[in-house]
């Protein structure tokens, strides 16, 4: 079946918070309309990190071409600018084959940067970054505490274990005197760098929490701890990959920082809930998102895109 008619330059995006069920529905749509999926997940770019990132299954990848997954090793850093470059390259390749892309994922910064444009900021200051890294090494958590005092809006969006983004936020403060949250206000401007249609899968808080509970149990039962230990033994994590929820907590557990498996499960669930709140805050700001209820089928998703 061919995709419904739309402007040639208009891109389709399926988004929503973690555990909303967007991937399953997007794969069904891609199968029906013969689309190729471009993953918009900041942690799915890492090889070996399969269980904790809830990557599409082997069956889903066999049914629909997937891109922007398994790009780098866990030892590498990977930022928004690099993802945007990779996404632009893959999109051009898909279009050159006469195919249509479907962007799927819940990383709002990737969505905003690719479709609205990367924000401008000061160049990196290696000496400043090294000093911030040293402070965090000496007192884990201190960078997030400082950011909470100086730029609380940014601190709400950045996980305390996401050292790379914490360092960047404090670097921007030091170099410009302005909070990074103010710099990111360009995302609120009218218009889009790349025209798109945005469809979100919405769920209420209690529903998401119930799904997160089941998801956490399933990931641990599938071997998340063992997967984390294997990565640690084969080169370890970069500051970026090591901040991924699930892996960050498993690393702490393996270092003896939690008293038992129950605390591990609770930490993962709590931090996933916080991630969902941050994702939802970002996405709800976008008036262009057409939200679908959680019981929507592929026909409803197709209709939301104008099909």
pLDDT of 67-87, one tens digit each?
A: 999 999 999 989 888 999 999
| Dist CA 68 CA 83 (whole Å) | 8
CA distances from 60 to 74, 125, 289 (A): 23, 43, 25
- Nearest to residue 3, comparing CAs of 98, 141, 81, 87? 98
Q: Do domains 11-117+193-304 and 126-185 have the same CATH topology?
A: no
Of the chain, the percentage scoring pLDDT greater than 90 comes to 68
Q: What is the DSSP string of 52-115?
A: TTTPPPHHHHHHS-EESSS-B-TTS---HHHHHHHHHHHHHHHHHTT--EEEE---HHHHHHHH
Chain centroid, CA 144 distance in Å: 19
**Taking the CB of residue 190, how many other CB atoms lie within 10 A of it?**
4
Q: What is the pLDDT of residue 173?
A: 87
Q: Which fold has domain 126-185?
A: Histone, subunit A (1.10.20)
**In contact, 228 and 255? CB cutoff 8 Å:** no
Alpha carbons 141 and 88: distance in angstroms, whole number: 35
Query: Counting every residue, how long is the chain?
Result: 307
Taking the domains of the chain in order of start, what are their residue ranges?
A: 11-117+193-304, 126-185
* Cβ-contact 238, 77 below 8 angstroms: yes
Can you give the pTM of this predicted structure? Answer: 0.82
Residue segments in the chain with a per-residue pLDDT below the cut of 50 = 1-7
Contact 165, 107 (CB under 8 A): no
pLDDT at 118 (0 to 100):
74
Strands across the sheet containing 196-201: 66-67, 36-39, 101-104, 11-15, 196-201, 289-292
Query: Which pLDDT belongs to residue 119?
Result: 66
At 155 the pLDDT is 86
Number of Cβ atoms within 10 Å of the Cβ of 60: 18
pLDDT (tens digit, 9 = 90+) per residue, 177-216?
878 766 555 555 667 889 999 999 999 999 999 999 999 9
Contact at 8 Å (CB) between 115 and 192? yes
The fold for domain 11-117+193-304 equals Rossmann fold (3.40.50)
Helix ranges (DSSP H) in the chain: 22-33, 58-63, 80-96, 108-116, 126-138, 142-150, 152-157, 163-176, 180-183, 205-221, 224-233, 247-254, 261-284, 298-304
């Amino acid at each position: 079946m061919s995709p419904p008619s739309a402007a040639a330059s208009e891109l389709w995006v399926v988004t929503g918070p973690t555990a909303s069920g967007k991937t399953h529905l997007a794969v069904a749509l891609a199968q029906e309309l013969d689309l190729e999926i471009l993953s918009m997940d900041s942690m799915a770019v890492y090889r070996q990190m399969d269980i904790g990132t809830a990557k599409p299954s082997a069956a889903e990848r066999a049914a629909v071409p997937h891109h922007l997954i398994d790009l780098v090793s866990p030892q590498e850093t990977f930022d928004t600018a690099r993802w945007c470059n990779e996404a632009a390259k893959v999109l051009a390749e898909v279009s050159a084959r006469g195919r249509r892309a479907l962007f799927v994922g819940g990383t709002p910064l990737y969505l905003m940067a690719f479709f609205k444009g990367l924000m401008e900021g000061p160049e990196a200051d290696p000496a400043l970054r090294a000093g911030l890294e040293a402070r965090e090494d000496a007192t884990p958590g201190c960078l997030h505490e400082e950011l909470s005092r100086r730029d609380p809006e940014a601190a709400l969006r950045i996980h305390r274990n996401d050292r790379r983004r914490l360092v960047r936020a404090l670097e921007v403060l030091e170099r410009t005197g302005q909070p990074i949250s103010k710099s990111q206000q360009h995302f609120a401007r009218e218009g889009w760098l790349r025209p798109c249609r945005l469809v979100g899968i919405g769920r209420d808080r209690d529903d998401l929490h119930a799904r997160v509970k089941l998801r956490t149990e399933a990931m641990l039962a599938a071997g998340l701890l063992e997967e984390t230990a294997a990565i640690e033994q084969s080169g370890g994590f970069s500051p970026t990959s090591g901040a991924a929820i699930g892996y960050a907590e498993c690393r702490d557990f393996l270092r003896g920082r939690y008293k038992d498996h129950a605390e591990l499960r609770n930490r993962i669930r709590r931090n996933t809930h916080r991630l969902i709140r941050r994702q939802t805050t970002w996405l709800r700001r976008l008036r262009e998102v057409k939200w679908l209820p959680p019981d929507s089928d592929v026909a409803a998703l197709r209709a939301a895109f104008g099909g």
